[in-house]
């Protein structure tokens, strides 16, 4: 991992966020047989996961970044469901906070993922050792690379007892190029993966900002009553509309900043330093403005995104390594 930018020690600023204890994570019953695993505070590497359980088995939606956190999730689910076996799992995308814990699932569990998600996880180097971009540097524990057994490009239907779960791709790049959602149409419950971040900064540097905006329109057309976002608290009722509107305003800010920056010949880092985050300044992981601008710049030029440069600039904008509590 020596190609990644080297960083100094973490900030000792007393305003720096406190670590989020693994014990703060909890299993919420959204509806009977439908569960959300919520990990505060939802910042870097602290994702949400979930499950749909029937009398004879369960479908898990995502795992967690580390072995310890994944074990806590699976143990809580086992208790809540009376020990029904995890027969299937869906990965909503390739990022390790949603997929490194795959290897902790039972050997017989069939894992479903998008074709591009599988390839992304196959070549992901960070599972082998996280570079010092975050502080403390995450330790995944005894996880191994476990890829989906079944891949899809567009859609499939999974049945859990009498429940129908639609596993769907938004139709183009959004958070990543291989996003999936789990949609329960009869219950109007949506597991959005990282197409939705509730109350913290969205990340689209491996996808598309216009694509992420289009994905919001698509999700909204489903008329979900409850949304389990990839990060942040579970949303219900009017909160869903509010968070979708926040995302749109944030993405418009990113696109405007990129347009202004490119017109003035600024680099993504320089453009980010000119941005007034306004209502979004208090969101966790604000440094993602730099990563998201790198995405827009790369799309504008038709070049591949330089991930190493993007993360180096994010740390330069922040002034110290990014915070995580894994």
Per-residue confidence (pLDDT) for residue 4, from 0 to 100: 37
Per-residue confidence (pLDDT) for residue 60, from 0 to 100: 98
Residue 112, helix vs strand vs coil? strand
What CATH architecture does domain 22-323 belong to?
A: 4-Layer Sandwich (3.60)
Location of structure tokens 């995308």? 93
DSSP 175-221: SSSS--EEEETTTTEEEEEEEEESSB----TTS-HHHHHHHHHHHHH
Q: What is the pTM of this model?
A: 0.93
- CB-based contact 74:100 (threshold 8 Å): no
Location of structure tokens 């992981």? 285
Per-residue confidence (pLDDT) for residue 21, from 0 to 100: 74
Domain ranges of the chain: 22-323
Per-residue confidence (pLDDT) for residue 20, from 0 to 100: 65
Beta bridge partners of 104: none
- CB-based contact 147:122 (threshold 8 Å): yes
HSE toward the beta carbon, residue 143, CA cutoff 13 A:
31
Mean pLDDT of residues grouped by 10 in the chain (326 residues)? 35 43 90 98 98 97 98 98 98 98 98 98 97 96 98 98 97 98 98 98 98 98 98 98 98 98 98 98 98 98 95 98 93
């Amino acid at each position: 991992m020596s190609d990644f930018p080297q960083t100094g020690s973490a900030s000792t600023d007393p305003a720096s966020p406190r670590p989020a204890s693994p014990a703060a994570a909890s299993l919420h019953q959204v509806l009977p047989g439908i569960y959300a695993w919520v990990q505060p505070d939802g910042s870097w590497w602290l994702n949400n996961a979930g499950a749909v359980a029937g009398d004879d088995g369960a479908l898990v939606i995502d795992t967690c970044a580390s072995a310890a956190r994944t074990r806590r999730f699976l143990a809580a689910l086992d208790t809540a469901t009376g020990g029904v076996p995890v027969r299937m799992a869906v990965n909503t995308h390739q990022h390790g906070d949603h997929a490194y814990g795959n290897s902790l699932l039972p050997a017989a569990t069939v894992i479903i993922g998008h074709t591009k998600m599988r390839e992304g996880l196959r070549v992901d180097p960070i599972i082998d050792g996280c570079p010092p971009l975050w502080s403390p540097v995450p330790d995944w524990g005894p996880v191994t690379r476990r890829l989906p057994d079944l891949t899809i490009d567009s859609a499939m239907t999974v049945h859990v007892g009498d429940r129908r779960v639609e596993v769907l791709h938004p139709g183009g790049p959004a958070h990543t190029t291989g996003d999936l959602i789990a949609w329960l149409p009869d219950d109007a419950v949506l597991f959005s993966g990282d197409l939705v971040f509730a109350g913290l900064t969205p990340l689209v540097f491996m996808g598309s900002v216009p694509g992420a905006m289009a994905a919001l329109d698509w999700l909204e057309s489903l008329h979900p009553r409850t949304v389990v976002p990839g990060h942040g608290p579970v949303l219900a009722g009017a909160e869903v509309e509010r968070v979708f509107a926040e995302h749109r305003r944030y993405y418009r800010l990113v696109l405007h900043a990129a347009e202004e920056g490119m017109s003035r010949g600024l680099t993504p880092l320089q453009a980010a330093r000119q941005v007034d985050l306004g209502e979004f300044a208090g969101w966790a992981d604000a440094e993602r403005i730099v990563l998201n601008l790198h995405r827009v710049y790369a799309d504008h030029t038709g070049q591949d995104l330089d991930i190493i440069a993007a993360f180096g600039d994010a740390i330069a904008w922040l002034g110290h390594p990014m915070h995580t509590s894994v």
